Amino acid sequence: MSGNELRIDHVAVVGCGVIGASWAAYFLARGLSVTATDPGENAEAELHRLVRSFWPALQPGLSNEASLDKLRFCTDIGDAVRDAQFIQENGPERLDVKHAIIAKIEAATSANTLIASSSSGLLVSQMQQGALHPERIVLGHPFNPPHLIPLVEVVGGEHTSDETVQRTMAFYHAIGKKPIHIRVEVKGHVANRLQAALWKEACYLVDQGVVSVADLDTAISQGPGLRWALLGPFMNLHFSGGVGGIEHLLEHLGPPIEDWWADLGHAPLTTETKKKISQGVRDELKEHDEAALIQKRDALLMALLDAKERAGKLP
Question: What confidence tens digit (pLDDT) does each residue in 33-67 have?
Answer: 999 999 999 999 999 999 999 999 999 889 999 99
- Average pLDDT value for the chain: 95
CA dihedral 40→41→44→48, nearest 10 degrees, is: -100
**How does pLDDT run across 71-90, given as a tens digit for each residue?**
999 999 999 999 999 999 99
Residue 2 pLDDT? 42
Span 117-161, pLDDT tens digits? 999 989 999 999 999 999 999 999 999 999 999 999 999 999 999
94-116: per-residue pLDDT in tens?
999 999 999 999 999 999 999 99
Evaluate if residue 265 carries a pLDDT over 70: yes
Q: Rounded mean pLDDT of 238-253? A: 95
pLDDT of amino acid 304: 94
Give the domain 10-182 fold. Rossmann fold (3.40.50)
Map out the domains of the chain as residue ranges: 10-182, 191-311
Q: Is the pLDDT of residue 4 over 70?
A: no
pLDDT of residue 60: 86
Asked if the domains 10-182 and 191-311 are classified in one and the same CATH topology, the answer is no
Record: fold of 191-311 = N-(1-d-carboxylethyl)-l-norvaline Dehydrogenase; domain 2 (1.10.1040)
Nearest to 215 by CA among 267, 280, 293: 280
DSSP the chain: --TTSPPP-EEEEE--SHHHHHHHHHHHHTT-EEEEE--STTHHHHHHHHHHHHHHHHGGG--TT--GGGEEEESSHHHHHTT-SEEEE---S-HHHHHHHHHHHHHHS-TT-EEEE--SSS-HHHHHTT-S-GGGEEEEEE-SSTTT--EEEEEE-TT--HHHHHHHHHHHHHTT-EEEEE-S--TTTTHHHHHHHHHHHHHHHHHTTSS-HHHHHHHHHTTHHHHHTTS-HHHHHHHHTGGGHHHHHHHHHHHHHHHHHHH-------HHHHHHHHHHHHHHHTTS-HHHHHHHHHHHHHHHHHHHHHH----
Confidence label for 6 from pLDDT (cuts 50, 70 and 90): low
**Amino acid code (one letter) for 220:** I
> pLDDT tens across 197-240, in order?
999 999 999 999 999 999 999 999 999 999 999 999 999 999 99
Q: Is the pLDDT confidence value at 3 over 50?
A: no
pLDDT recorded at residue 314: 87
Q: Which tens digits make up the pLDDT trace of 178-198?
A: 999 999 999 999 999 999 999
